[in-house]
C-alpha cells in the first residue's frame, strides 16, 4: 500500500471536496481519498504507486489545480 499527499488550489466548499474525491477515486489503483478543505490537502491511498500525473489530471477534471505533491 502506498500513500501520497498533494496540495490542491481553488477548492472553496464541500461540493469542491466531493468533486475532487469522486474524480481521484476513479483513478485505477486508488483505494481511498481524503480531502481537507481548510488546508487544501489531498491524501491518496493506493494498492501501489500511482502516477502523480494521473492524480493531477483527475483533480483538473474536477476543476482544480494540484500545486504540489509528494
Domain ranges of the chain: 2-69
Distances (CA, A) of 64 to 1, 2, 17, 28, 49: 26, 23, 10, 20, 22
> DSSP 3-state helix, strand, coil percentages of the chain (rounded to 5)?
35, 35, 30
C-alpha cell of residue 62: 474536477
Residues 19-42 have pLDDT tens digits of 999 999 999 999 999 999 999 999
What pTM was estimated for this model as a whole? 0.92
- In angstroms and rounded to an integer, the radius of gyration of the C-alpha atoms of the chain is 10
CATH tag, 2-69: 3.30.70.100
- pLDDT: is 36 or 70 the higher one? 36
Amino acid at each position: 500500500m502506498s500513500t501520497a499527499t498533494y496540495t490542491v488550489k481553488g477548492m472553496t466548499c464541500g461540493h469542491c471536496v466531493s468533486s475532487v474525491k469522486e474524480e481521484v477515486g476513479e483513478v485505477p489503483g486508488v483505494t481511498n481519498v481524503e480531502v481537507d478543505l481548510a488546508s487544501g490537502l489531498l491524501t491518496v491511498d493506493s494498492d501501489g504507486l500511482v502516477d502523480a500525473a494521473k492524480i493531477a489530471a483527475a483533480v483538473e477534471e474536477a476543476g482544480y489545480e494540484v500545486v504540489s505533491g509528494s
